[in-house]
Amino acid sequence: MKSVATLALVVALSAPNVLSAQVTRYVRFSHQSRAAYGILEAETVRELEGDLFASPRQTGRTFRLADVRLLAPCEPSKVIAVGLNYRSHLGDRPAAAYPGLFAKYPTSIVGTGADIVMPPDATDLHYEGELVIVIGRKAKNVSPEEALLYVFGVTAGNDVSERAWQRSDLQWFRAKASDTFGPLGPAIATGLNYDDLLVQTRVNGEVRQSERTRDLIFNVPTIVSYVSKYVTLMPGDVIFTGTPQTTRAMKAGDVVEVEVEGVGVLRNTVVAGR
């Protein structure tokens, strides 16, 4: 008779998107205005104490998911993004020889359930559903072969982008990095095969983007290695990996969902700013 561990391994190996026997989903949440990390298991959140990236301990306290407010799943010191990383998004543009990087700001990050606030002078605000890398260990000059050792896990992100400003401005400062332009969550998942996850974006329930991460031009290890040549990545830093296919403008009232297989659904509502 097979042991439980062996059975778990057999189940894991039979599911192509799962690398290890265990997928763990970490969340950050607030309860009675106190913030904490936790492990999400179905509808239960098991509270953690200590640094998420340095052996946190379970406190023994549990909460019903319905009783807490989920926050962005980490607090990055740097928010980096790769552009033009799916052939389906390139249009007439040639594929680049190396990852095209830009920056967003930590203040652009919001969690699931938060509003995406349209600045009053925004005229062409688009969603971009993406797989997002979460760094787990300080990384500088790491090779592609060792890069996964520095990745804590992945989450879902919406690289909200104002296309008119992308075209008109000197840099993508306000087009990509305005407040609330970086929804992230709902959880950080560990133990997934990052090279084959379905990324899907829905607006008001209608599927707008749907593609697997096997189509990334530059995959997760390549991106982490490349970025670490130039900047020191710290635990909790995030890297948006690029969006597939095409995007369209959002309007106030739209509910935008980005779902990454194994991670969950990131859901945000667009509101008009003042």
**Where along the sequence are the contacts to Mg ion (CB under 5 A)?**
128, 159, 243
Nearer to Mg ion (CB atom), residue 104 or residue 202 = 104
Q: How far is CA 194 from CA 4, 17, 20, 104, in A?
A: 26, 8, 12, 22
b/e sequence 210-222, b meaning 16+ C-beta within 10 Å:
ebbbebbbbbbbb
* Residue among 157 and 264 whose Cβ is closer to Mg ion: 157
- Tell me which residue of 165, 211, 185 sits closest to 69, measured CA to CA: 185
The nearest distance, CB 83 to Mg ion, in angstroms, is 6
Report the residue number, 159 or 261, with the smaller CB distance to Mg ion.
159
Structure tokens at 178: 């305005």
> What is the β-pairing status of strands 238-240 and 79-83?
parallel
CB 167 to Mg ion: min, Å = 15
- As beta bridge partners, residue 266 has 258
CB of 82 to Mg ion, least distance (A): 7
Minimum CB–partner distance for residue 37 and Mg ion (Å)? 26
Closer to Mg ion by Cβ: residue 48 or 256: 256
Nearer residue to Mg ion within complex by CB, 180 or 190: 180
Minimum CB–partner distance for residue 156 and Mg ion (Å):
13
Residue number, nearest CB to Mg ion: 159
Q: Which two tokens stand for residue 119?
A: 């600045």
CA–CA separation, 204 and 149 (whole Å):
37
